[in-house]
Structure 1
């Protein structure tokens, strides 16, 4: 039977897969350049030959040469001077430097390489998990994933969170009230809590996370940012939160990772003073599932397959939500936790995210 006009040919599918292979090579090579300090050295110390780059970064010159050539062939680096293999001089264009090294830029995407790079060592266990229904936690993925997640969201918290919240008048007024007590559930590397502390200096912010190394990282980040006097972090289960203590709670991109989201949301509800809101930021995926999704859907399913769903299933019992948590699923969790309303906030142009107010 002939394929319908809409059906792709085998050649088209093969071409798409080949493009994905090229993209994978680029992503994994950015992981090398990011983690080995090669991008940063080129940006901060200037152009280099392979031996010079290797000496600066304490790495191997032959590997450095292969990476420099690959990066130049793929168009991310520039060849300044040709010659014998180890005498070629390479430099980093300003645009590449921003994307790969500027932790404060909204275009900083090097952390995505870390996230997927962290999956590599876990692939054999991931295969087993897919057979047995078990999971792989953030702790098992290690620092590459942990730091990648924190650094990917950092610029958005630093540059956009204050303005986004200021645009929601009643929420802004609540946060700006002297002595406001703010809870940040699943605070990770702490950048959301730090941004809240900077935006609302009369408030105190308490970040809590189940991952102990993330709490250590967050506390160090707060000290460096000079806000540790009003932004603190603790390691623990949100089920142990004090009752009727907080005036506002936030959950930034973490509800979909929770094995038992209803239990956590119930504890958060009890920790809030009467009428206080919980603000959830999560992926701005489509309202419903449909074939042939857009690039955001495709990327979020990628994170779900390799990171978030396995993490969510690393503890049992598990809701097994996955990264693609659609609005109706969040509403289901919130109502089951005893909240009454869930509404999308009018915050747009905030990366891949959508904000909800739950009361």
Structure 2
């Protein structure tokens, strides 16, 4: 049973109104951050402090719009300004030390800029989401146009931690890759995990599958730019297709099982593709529902309401899992797919849980 401190109706109204106002303000500011990224304004300020006209000249953006954006960013304490009392076009704006890790470095663990892309995406598809809620239907993943934001949000973890921290918890797969083995990845998105594997294991090869053509196209470009396109094969494929077979040292399914209408079929595919371990990484959902939730619980449920559950209900019948896939649910799916064991891997991460499926 959950107990809360008593509140009068007036107190509840005041607190809830204040919370919604603060959330709305944060959403608006996040969109202005996304706009600054799209226009190259943060990149322009990384070259050094600038007045609004100077920044406009550096970036090729209209000077009056740049002035408004700079004033807003300074008001929000995202940019520093040397003299607020100066004439508008004489104020000099600076990107604070440390801000580049958040706004400009895609491989920094602090880079949460892709959240702006998720917010933009939600606005684009909201009528379709509402329709899905009323009819019990779904919203196709491609309609969200969120593949770059999704890839960007996970990129730093894959680039910085997959090879050095996560794979050592699966020593037989790590050894096989060091010896030149192959690994399959289901739901590869724009390819950052596969690319990290190819970089970290120079003798290994990766077969990566995703049903979204735009994601696969982006993954191929990313692999070419990273210089590993000769060892990573990106394929447009439905990972629930029983015709998908192979013989790999292991299979990775990162943050994708909960999005599928038929997660059991995908796990059966994983089982067919390897004689070794299947590693599933998914959101770090608690064992049981509990309220109030922490920040990550709130993030997972918001993502589920707006994206993951509608995507997972595009095909019927659907498991309708949603983002918050609890460990017991994954274990049930694994057993139905024919696995005889599920082991929690000893990888500490606030965002994700890791499972090894065997048998």
- Using the size of structure 1 for normalisation, the TM-score is 0.92
Report the count of equivalent residues.
Answer: 350
Q: For the residues of structure 1 that align with 2:78 and 2:55, how far apart are their CA atoms?
A: 16
Partner of 2:273: 271
Q: For the residues of structure 1 that align with 2:277 and 2:7, how far apart are their CA atoms?
A: 48
Q: For the residues of structure 2 that align with 1:97 and 1:111, how far apart are their CA atoms?
A: 14
Please report how far the alpha carbon of residue 27 of structure 1 lies from its aligned counterpart in structure 2 after TM superposition.
1.6
Q: For the residues of structure 1 that align with 2:286 and 2:210, how far apart are their CA atoms?
A: 28
Partner of 1:335: 335
Please report how far the alpha carbon of residue 242 of structure 1 lies from its aligned counterpart in structure 2 after TM superposition.
4.4
Partner of 1:119: 122
The question of 1:303 aligning with 2:303 is answered yes
- Secondary structure of 1:329's counterpart equals helix
**Residues 227, 291 of structure 1: CA spacing in aligned structure 2 closer, same or farther, 3 A cutoff?**
same
Does the CA contact (< 8 Å) of 1:79 and 1:89 recur in 2?
Answer: yes
Does the CA contact (< 8 Å) of 2:34 and 2:113 recur in 1?
Answer: yes
Output one character per residue of 1:176-210: Cα deviation in whole Å (capped at 9) or x when no partner. 233x1200100011010011112222221011100
The question of 1:356 aligning with 2:355 is answered yes
Residue number among 78, 82, 100 corresponding to 2:103 in the alignment: 100
Partner of 2:314: 314
Please report how far the alpha carbon of residue 121 of structure 1 lies from its aligned counterpart in structure 2 after TM superposition.
1.6
Partner of 1:24: 27
Partner of 1:85: 88
- Secondary structure of 2:50's counterpart equals coil
Most deviating of 32-41 and 70-79: 32-41
Partner of 1:294: 294
RMSD, matched Cα: 1.9
Does the CA contact (< 8 Å) of 1:154 and 1:192 recur in 2?
Answer: yes
**Residues 263, 73 of structure 1: CA spacing in aligned structure 2 closer, same or farther, 3 A cutoff?**
same
**Residues 35, 315 of structure 1: CA spacing in aligned structure 2 closer, same or farther, 3 A cutoff?**
farther
Residue number among 109, 113, 117 corresponding to 1:110 in the alignment: 113
Partner of 1:68: 70
Please report how far the alpha carbon of residue 353 of structure 1 lies from its aligned counterpart in structure 2 after TM superposition.
0.9
Most deviating of 180-189 and 65-74: 65-74
The question of 1:35 aligning with 2:34 is answered no
Please report how far the alpha carbon of residue 257 of structure 1 lies from its aligned counterpart in structure 2 after TM superposition.
0.9
Q: For the residues of structure 2 that align with 1:93 and 1:121, how far apart are their CA atoms?
A: 32
Partner of 1:138: 141
Does the CA contact (< 8 Å) of 1:175 and 1:248 recur in 2?
Answer: no
The question of 1:215 aligning with 2:216 is answered yes
Output one character per residue of 1:251-275: Cα deviation in whole Å (capped at 9) or x when no partner. 11111111211111112211222xx
Output one character per residue of 1:220-273: Cα deviation in whole Å (capped at 9) or x when no partner. 111111111111111111225543512200011111111211111112211222
Partner of 2:262: 260
Does the CA contact (< 8 Å) of 1:241 and 1:271 recur in 2?
Answer: no
Q: For the residues of structure 2 that align with 1:241 and 1:85, how far apart are their CA atoms?
A: 64
Does the CA contact (< 8 Å) of 2:173 and 2:249 recur in 1?
Answer: no
Unaligned residue ranges in structure 2 (runs of 5+): none
Please report how far the alpha carbon of residue 65 of structure 1 lies from its aligned counterpart in structure 2 after TM superposition.
2.0
